[in-house]
């Protein structure tokens, strides 16, 4: 069971390739969502044991830190760079996409806040009862959000942003993680 609840290894993508790093972040988020689903089954079978506490603590750390940084990477750096790349053009479609993704981030953060309290209790060794519905809501929203970003946002960014734009986004992402 340990390997089932162990955190997924980080994918190797650097700040010099920010679009690839954002995609790697999506893979890590999917991995954390998979851990959440396995945690539900593990709790039903074994109760709140050391593995469950550790898995809950790891998921808490990921969504409290890495997911928050990922949203900032997009909202503070990637989205403005995309808008700027469309200066003088009809950017209505792009603006609508960015507004929708930003709204998705707020929904994901709200769903996370609800699930976070349950995971804190598990990490502390407390039995929380049934919480699969909360997990499925969050995982479903993350799956749809990631799929859209992978299918639409990142390919668009690769087409529209210059090497200088991407380097600027990468530097901002590095700086965010150093503070």
Residue 22 belongs to domain with CATH number: 1.20.120.520
Asked if pLDDT for residue 14 goes beyond 80, the answer is: no
Percentage with pLDDT > 90 across the chain: 80
Among residues 13, 12, 19, the alpha carbon closest in space to that of 153 is found at: 19
Q: Give pLDDT, residue 161.
A: 94
What is the band of 5 on the pLDDT scale with cuts at 50, 70, 90?
very low
What is the band of 117 on the pLDDT scale with cuts at 50, 70, 90?
very high
Per-residue three-class SS string for the chain: CHHHHCCCCCCCCCCCCHHHHHHHHHHHHHHHHHHHHHHHHHHHHHCCCHHHHHHHHHHHHHHHHHHHHHHHHHHHHHHHHHHHHCCCCCCHHHHHHHHHHHHHHHHHHHHHHHHHHHHHHHHCCCCCCCCHHHHHHHHHHHHHHHHHHHHHHHHHHHHHCCHHHHHHHHHHHHHHHHC
Average pLDDT on 49-70 reads 97
Structure pTM?
0.86
Average pLDDT on 84-96 reads 78
Asked if pLDDT for residue 6 goes beyond 70, the answer is: no
**Residue 59 near residue 35, CB atoms below 8 Å:** yes
Asked if pLDDT for residue 60 goes beyond 70, the answer is: yes
Q: Which residue has the higher pLDDT, 59 or 89?
A: 59
Q: Give pLDDT, residue 13.
A: 53
Asked if pLDDT for residue 118 goes beyond 80, the answer is: yes
Range of the domain at 25: 2-6+14-178
Separation between Cα atoms, residue 123 and residue 77, nearest integer Å: 33
Average pLDDT on 98-118 reads 96
Q: Give pLDDT, residue 11.
A: 38
**Residue 101 near residue 74, CB atoms below 8 Å:** yes
What is the tens place of the pLDDT at every residue in 121-179? 999 999 998 889 999 999 999 999 999 999 999 999 999 999 999 999 999 999 998 86
Average pLDDT on 21-33 reads 96
Q: Which residue has the higher pLDDT, 38 or 16?
A: 38
Total of domains in the chain: 1
Average pLDDT on 112-124 reads 96
């Amino acid at each position: 069971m340990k390997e089932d609840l162990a955190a997924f290894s980080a994918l190797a993508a650097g700040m010099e390739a920010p679009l690839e790093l954002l995609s790697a972040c999506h893979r890590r988020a999917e991995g954390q969502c998979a851990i959440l689903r396995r945690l539900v089954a593990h709790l039903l079978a074994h109760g709140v044991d050391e593995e469950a506490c550790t898995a809950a603590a790891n998921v808490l750390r990921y969504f409290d830190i890495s997911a928050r940084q990922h949203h900032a990477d997009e909202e503070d750096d990637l989205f403005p760079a995309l808008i700027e790349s469309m200066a003088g053009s009809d950017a209505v479609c792009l603006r609508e996409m960015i507004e929708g993704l930003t709204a998705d981030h707020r929904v994901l953060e709200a769903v996370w806040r609800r699930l976070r309290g349950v995971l804190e209790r598990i990490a502390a060794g407390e039995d929380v009862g049934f919480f699969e519905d909360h997990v499925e809501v969050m995982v479903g929203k993350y799956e749809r959000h990631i799929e859209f970003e992978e299918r639409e946002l990142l390919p668009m960014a690769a087409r529209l942003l210059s090497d200088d734009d991407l380097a600027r986004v990468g530097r901002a992402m590095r700086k965010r993680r150093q503070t």
